[in-house]
Amino acid sequence: MSERLESYKCPSCSAPLRYDPSGKLVCDSCSNEYDPEVIELMDSYDRQQAEFDWGDYKQKLAENAERIENSVVYVCRSCGATVETDATTAATHCPYCDNEIVITDRLEGGLKPGGVIPFKIDKNRAIDSVLAHFKGKKLLPGNFKDRHTLEKIRGVYVPFWLFDAGVDGTMVMDATKVRMWSDSRYDYTETKHYLLSVSGSMDFAGVPVDASTKMDNDVMDALEPFDYSEMRDFDPVYLSGFLADRFDEDPDVSIPRANERMENSAESVIRSEASDFTTVSVRKSLMRLTHPTVRYVMLPVYVLNVKYNEKNYRFAVNGQTGKVVGELPISKLKSWLYFGGWLVGLGAIVSLIAYFLFR
Amino acid sequence: MKKMICLLFSAALLFTLCIVVFADTPLLNPDKSDNENGMPYWYPLDTDGFEDFHGEDLPYVVDDADIMTDAEEAQLSAKIESIVRKYGIGYVAFTDDDLHGLSPEYYSSDFLHFNGYGTGDEYGAVTFFLCFDPGDRCWRTTAINSCEDYFTEEIMYEIDETVDSAIRSGDYYDAFMLHANYVEDLFEEIATTENWTPEDHDFKYTYEDEDDYDPYYENYGYRNGRSKEGPSAVTVVGAGLIVGLIGGGIRVASLRKKMKINPPRTANNYLIHDSYFVRDRRCDYLYTTLTRHEKPREPSSSGGGGGSHGGSSFSSGHSSGGSFSSGGRSF
Ligand SMILES: [Zn+2]
Ligand SMILES: [Zn+2]
């Protein structure tokens, strides 16, 4: 046992700890003393690794694989997008790059999703939402709105993976309590360091990650939330008037994104257990997944592409809520005008105040 | 034109304010309890924008530590009054037993400034301060404004040698009289020597232990007049420019941020709230760190070389009340 104890490092200064006959672990460098039990606990935490294991979801998805029937499949020769719709809907342009798309019969229908949220708002409301989004954006180039044709906006069912799982385990945290006081000469700061571990569990349902490489993950995440209570079983009738993209991003690529979000959430929830500390930082997350499942669904999104200064700007509108997401072009001229105005105005005011205060 | 009127008006306002606040010396008030800021009774409540002034009916001895008899005080007072009248400088004997958290040099400098002991156009004054604060028993010769230039470290050393044994043997009145005699001789010398500088002085003691000097002293020479100007145009415009740059930068950055996408980084929307429960919470104490920082308002007084006799210290600087030079020892 003593050999192991000797190899521990001081949590305060990282110098090697020495086992003292008093029963404590002592640091000769900073002269702190530690309870061996606590140092051992800390060490065991540090040596553990936890990973979110989503299990054999791929096999399950493959077992239940069913194709969408009677759909017309289009291919974009320009960007390679593969979209489909029903026989009554005429599609002419790619929703992602605006180039012409052609029908192909070499491909069968895409994987039938486990659920779909139908479009709730129509095209006109989507356009109104985009216009409202432009309002108040002071750096938007003045001619931007004229150049584009909002009419080109298209409704696309975007494939998503939904991740459901329980998160269970222990979050290990470095926590401090800080106390400050003063005498006539000095300001004192006392920081007490603690090893805090909270074990618990929580469940997540439907953490979404888009499954299409054509859609930017950041844009899709920002489109949330979708109201899952309006999720329906898939029926080809929902395709009428809309396009459906098909998944081409493996869930393995999407998983780290979902993991990160769940871990961040678990962390913030568990941090609330440490509200009596001044600072808390996560040392180790030893959480694992319980009952994980992965679902394949389609969510309604209006897509609009606008070219400005040779660059393509894509807007996405949540087809259920009307929320608009998209990076906007920034007018350099307007940026400099705003900056200059503030510089001169604020500078003049501060100069005047400084002059009268300190003269 | 408008600006000129504004400036004149605020100057006049400040001037009247000074007169209203500082004309009556609080030193003659029998109530010597601390003011509401916990500072001594003679300390201004607000030290911002303080300017030196000529106090009226100022006592020559302020024995707040109460170490002298009334008779001693009267004799010392008469002695100092004769020096003040003859040479036209501000000079006062001062004792106290509480530094109110300040260093002795700053405390005595503030005492001179805030009570208006300065005389003449340049508000020169000097005090011999005997400090009986339990945490810092010491003496200081502290000079402000035009008097700073006379009390160089070599002069201070000579004063300290002159009064040292009297103070250490508890003969405080004698020490004050020795100090007064020294100051009288020094000002006689200054008055009768054309363009006197400290080098003209015939030193009886020479200070050799140079390691003990406050390095600040190196730059502290005999100066003629001091500039007491406000901030220069460059400083004012520079400050405005910096704030303007920062403000403009923040504004544009926040406008630009509106143009970007802000994807969520958590799954809070998908957390089933009733599902959360804590099985165990364990908290183990590890260690404590304690740091201390000297308060910024009180510059360090160089403690000297230690030992049973304590060291000399000499410093000069600016307090809330203005600039000073000061020297003395612990006892
Ligand atoms: Zn250590
Ligand atoms: Zn395309």
For residues B297 and B300, give the distance between their C-alpha atoms in angstroms, rounded to a whole number: 10
Report the distance separating Cα A214 and Cα A96, nearest Å: 7
- Going along B209-321, which residue ranges are E strands? 271-294, 312-319
Q: Do A206 and B291 touch (CB under 8 A)?
A: no
d(CA A162, CA B157): 83
pLDDT in tens, A84-124: 998 888 888 888 888 888 888 877 888 889 899 999 999 98
Q: What's residue B94's pLDDT?
A: 94
Give B235 or B291, the one with higher predicted confidence.
B291
Nearest CA in chain A to B243: A347
Q: Which two tokens stand for residue A252?
A: 């393995």
Q: Which residue of A269, A273, A351 is in closest CB contact with B237?
A: A351
> How far does B199 lie from chain A, in Å, by closest CA?
36
Closest-approaching ligand to the CA atom of A305: 2
Amino acid identity of B87? Answer: Y
Count helices and strands in chain B by DSSP H and E runs: 6, 7
A-chain residues near B254 (CB < 8 A) = none
Of A12-16, B4-8, B246-250, the range with the lowest mean pLDDT is: B4-8
The H-or-E segment that residue B126 falls in is strand B125-133
Res A71: pLDDT: 87
Does the CB of A187 have a partner CB in chain B at under 8 Å? yes
- Beta-bridge mates of residue A155: A302
- Residue A255: CB atoms within 10 A of its CB come to 19
Of A259, A28, A313, give the one whose Cα is nearest residue A144.
Answer: A313
What local confidence, expressed as pLDDT, does residue B220 receive? Answer: 31
Provide the pLDDT for residue B296: 65
For position A358, what pLDDT does the model report?
Answer: 65
- What is the token pair recorded at B185? 């001789």
Partner B contacted by A15 (CB < 8 A): no
SS3 annotation, A176-219: EEEEEEECCCEEEEEEEEEEEEEEEEEEEEEEEEECCCCCCHHH
- Looking at residue A34, its pLDDT comes to 93
In the 3-class helix/strand/coil scheme, how is chain A assigned residue by residue?
CHHHHHCCECCCCCCEEEECCCCCEEECCCCCEECHHHHHHHHHHHHCCCCCCCCCHHHHHHHCCCECCCCEEEEECCCCCEEEECCCCCCCECCCCCCEEEEECCCCCCECCCEECCCCCCHHHHHHHHHHHHCCCCCCCCCHHHHCCHHHCEEEEEEEEEEEEEEEEEEEEEEEEEEEEECCCEEEEEEEEEEEEEEEEEEEEEEEEECCCCCCHHHHHHCCCCCHHHCECCCHHHHCCCEEECCCCCHHHHHHHHHHHHHHHHHHHHHHHHCCCCEEEEEEEEEEEEEEEEEEEEEEEEEEEEEECCEEEEEEEECCCCCEEECCCCCHHHHHHHHHHHHHHHHHHHHHHHHHHHC
- Which-ligand-closest: CA of A9? 1
> Distance (Å, rounded) from C-alpha A42 to C-alpha A31?
19
Q: Which ligand is nearest to the CA of B287?
A: 1
For an interface test with B, give the residue of A350, A352, A353 to mutate (most B CBs within 10 A). A350
| Contact list, A139 vs chain B (CB under 8 Å) | 252, 255-256, 258-259
Q: How confident is the model at residue B252 (pLDDT cuts 50, 70, 90)?
A: confident
Tell me the average pLDDT across B233-240: 79
**A47 alpha carbon – ligand 1 mean position (Å):** 21
Rounded CA-CA distance B157/B260 in Å is: 69
Q: Which residue has the higher pLDDT, A186 or A303?
A: A303
In order of start, what are the domains of chain B with their CATH numbers? 42-228+314-330 (3.10.310.50)
Average pLDDT over every residue of B253-267: 80
CA distances from A4 to A16, A45, A230, A289, B277 (A): 11, 15, 58, 32, 35
Name the β-bridge partners of A324: A317
What pLDDT score was predicted for residue B217?
33
Q: Which of B271, B272, B293 best tests the A interface by mutation, with the highest count of A CBs <10 A?
A: B271
Provide the pLDDT for residue A314.
84
Which residues lie near ion ligand 2 (Cβ < 5 Å)?
A 76, 78-79, 81, 94, 96-97
Give me the mean pLDDT over the B43-55 stretch.
Answer: 81
Instruction: Please list every residue in chain A whose beta carbon sits closer than 8 Å to the beta carbon of residue B275.
Output: 166, 201-203
- Check residue A148 and give its pLDDT: 56
Ligand 2 centroid–CA A249 distance in Å is: 17
Answer yes or no: do A338 and B268 touch at CB < 8 A: no
Q: What are phi and psi of B97, to 5 degrees?
A: -115, 15
Q: What residues of chain B lie within 8 A of the CB of A221, using their CB?
A: 263-264
Q: Cβ A347–B279 below 8 Å, yes or no?
A: no
Q: Which residues of A touch B235 (CB under 8 A)?
A: 354
pLDDT at residue B305, rounded to an integer: 29
The residue of chain A nearest to residue B11, with distances taken between CA atoms, is: A359
Give the pLDDT of residue B319: 53
Structure tokens at B176: 């004050």
Interface-testing mutation among A14, A202, A331, with chain B (most B C-beta atoms within 10 A): A202
In angstroms, the CA B124 to CA B90 distance is 6
Q: Which residues of A touch B264 (CB under 8 A)?
A: 221-222, 224, 261
A/B interface, count of CB pairs below 8 Å: 228
pLDDT tens digits, one per residue of A320-333: 999 998 877 777 78
Cis before A225? omega within 30: yes
Q: Are B173 and B71 in contact (CB under 8 A)?
A: no
Q: Three-state SS for B7?
A: helix
Q: Which ligand is nearest to the CA of A99?
A: 2
The answer to whether the Cβ–Cβ distance between B247 and A196 falls below 8 Å is no
Q: If you average pLDDT over residues A133-157, what whole number do you get?
A: 75
- Mind listing the pLDDT tens digit for each residue in B173-211? 999 999 999 999 999 988 888 888 888 888 877 766 554
Evaluate if residue A143 carries a pLDDT over 70: no
Backbone angles phi, psi at A186, to 5 degrees: -125, 155
